[in-house]
Chain A
Amino acid sequence: MQERDVPFLETKHLSWKTNGVTIIKDISVRIEQESIVAIIGPSGAGKSSFLRLLNRLSEPTAGQVCFQGRDYRELSPRTLRQRLGMVMQLPHLFPGTVTYNLRFGPRQFGKELSSADIQKLLAEVGLKDYANRDVSSLSVGEAQRVSLARTLANSPHGLLLDEPTSALDEDTEREVEALICRIIAEERLTCLIVTHDTAQARRMADHAIRIVDGAKADFGPIEEVLDAK
């Protein structure tokens, strides 16, 4: 494990421009180990774009991202993405069974999950008997749970969650939210979650970054950021 004073993730003057438009403007934040940070802001502010820069699905046009104390460009993108798991707004499961989906990540690194590993992961997300189910037969809520389990199968050090409950109905949203909170706590994961729902941010996170028009408008403990309006 790394030393406590090294932040889990740090962005320094991070910017991203695409098609001539600057989407992310000079964001510098320091995410501590095991913290849960909500990324909030109005629709179209650049919250998801910021998250994508953190696991390098998009390439920063200026600035730096340090992951566990190192510039993330020193790591191969595959290693970075394995360590910093991402759950997207929609599950985007691969055609096939739930087991195929859970085995996909570890297989990329030459590791084959055993049936016991699969069962453990599925139990963790409340889908005990789903191993052989075809993903086309799952509800959106179940698919999002499988997506979370698929990310956890890579044993990440941290999680990036891009509005993971926004496509779910209210009851399922609260269930998946509670599930995510439990897993983060049990696994002691550092987590960044994009949400447009301030109530959800308050329930889940201990810190928040408010992004407005691509720039950091506020960053600090959750109550301070949410009450600062």
Chain B
Amino acid sequence: MLSRIFTTPRALGAAQAAIAAASAILLILLARTRKIRLIKETLVALLRGCLQVVAVGSVVLLLLEQPMWTAIIVLMTMIGAATTIGARRSKDIPGAFWVTLQGIALGAGSFIVVMTLIGVIEWEMSSLVPVGSMLIANAMNTVALSLDRFGSDVKAHVGEIEAALALGAEPKETVRPYVQAATEAGLIPRLNSLRSLGIVWIPGLMAGMILAGDDPVYAAIYQFVVIAMIFAASGLTTIVSMLLVRSRIFSPAMQLLLRSREGEQE
């Protein structure tokens, strides 16, 4: 119906966005009758989301006309931004920023390079930047989850860790169970994505490809390729980060540096 009124893609898109936003506002107004007050937050989120995504669309439009080396700069900038955001939750972990940076760069970054060289990711702006950004964003979330879990586990087990140190254990040996648990914790959401693919959700990339007129079977296969790559890149990122963070929480004299305030000694 809308396509009859709005004939250009951008006008149609704006109309669709307005109706989708109006439905979200309607929902919030309905929620208000149940004393759930989220109007201000919803309006801000809708406006912010709309502006952000239009801005990204405009940037992508500009990028598509640029030479390929700009894609590398864009991906490196994304790694920098992902590091800043990903490390924010783990401020109390010494060197969290560098651990996250090296994790994402060596994990997701090297994975993007290898996949591009092999040809799984096409050496085209329209493929490299969006797929690369998905791998980086998911690696960021995974490493943030893993570091958060690792930090909490270490702080909750200071006694066991110091008991092991007091018996002459190597620092990395004392935190081994917490490294394993944190790696798994970071990867569980990615594993669930892989497991529920196509059953619980039809991901955006596949939906977008179908909407754009691609063969649904190819769209489905490519979506699987991307989700599998996300899992592998995130896994590599979290493994690298966890290997690096082990040594960061100990001093050169093998003393535990990461402890909660309440854990301070008498």
Interface, chain A (partner B; CB < 8 A):
18-19, 23, 43-49, 52, 55-59, 77-79, 81-82, 85-86, 88, 90-94, 104-105, 108-109, 147, 150-151, 154
| B159 contact set on A, CB distance < 8 A | 88, 90, 92
| A48 (CB) vs chain B CBs: closest residue | B266
Which 3 pairs show the lowest CB-CB distances between chains A and B?
A105-B167, A92-B159, A92-B163
| A43 (CB) vs chain B CBs: closest residue | B266
| B266 contact set on A, CB distance < 8 A | 43-49
Partner of B254, one of A19, A78, A88, A147: A78
| B165 contact set on A, CB distance < 8 A | 57, 77, 81
**Sample of 27 A–B contacts (CB below 8 Å):** A18-B264, A19-B264, A44-B266, A48-B265, A49-B266, A55-B166, A56-B254, A57-B162, A57-B255, A57-B256, A78-B168, A78-B254, A81-B166, A81-B168, A86-B166, A88-B162, A88-B163, A92-B159, A93-B163, A94-B164, A104-B167, A105-B167, A105-B169, A108-B167, A108-B169, A108-B170, A108-B173
| A90 contact set on B, CB distance < 8 A | 159
| A109 (CB) vs chain B CBs: closest residue | B168
Q: Check if B265 sits within 8 Å of A58, measured CB to CB.
A: yes
| A108 contact set on B, CB distance < 8 A | 167-170, 173
Among B165, B170, B266, which residue has the most Cβ atoms of chain A within 10 A?
Answer: B266
Q: Check if A92 sits within 8 Å of B265, measured CB to CB.
A: no
Partner of B164, one of A19, A48, A104, A109: A104
CA separation between A104 and B160, bound complex, in Å? 12
Size bracket, chain B contacts? 20 to 34
Partner of A23, one of B166, B173, B265: B265
Q: Check if B255 sits within 8 Å of A59, measured CB to CB.
A: yes
| Majority-rule SS of B interface residues | loop
Known: A59-B251, A88-B162. A49 touches B265 (CB 8 A): yes
Among A43, A81, A90, which residue has the most Cβ atoms of chain B within 10 A?
Answer: A81
Among B160, B163, B165, B254, which residue has the most Cβ atoms of chain A within 10 A?
Answer: B163
Within 8 A of A (CB), among B158-193: 159-160, 162-170, 173
Q: Check if B168 sits within 8 Å of A92, measured CB to CB.
A: no
> Does any Cβ of A come within 8 Å of B253's Cβ?
yes
Q: Check if B168 sits within 8 Å of A79, measured CB to CB.
A: yes
Q: Check if B167 sits within 8 Å of A59, measured CB to CB.
A: no
CA separation between A81 and B167, bound complex, in Å? 6
CA separation between A166 and B266, bound complex, in Å? 15
CA separation between A18 and B159, bound complex, in Å? 19
| A18 (CB) vs chain B CBs: closest residue | B264
Partner of B169, one of A47, A52, A104: A104
Shortest Cβ distance from residue B159 to the other chain A in the assembled complex, whole angstroms? 4
| A49 (CB) vs chain B CBs: closest residue | B265
Shortest Cβ distance from residue B163 to the other chain A in the assembled complex, whole angstroms? 4
Q: Check if A94 sits within 8 Å of B166, measured CB to CB.
A: no
| B160 contact set on A, CB distance < 8 A | 92, 94
Known: A59-B251, A78-B254. A85 touches B265 (CB 8 A): no
| A44 (CB) vs chain B CBs: closest residue | B266
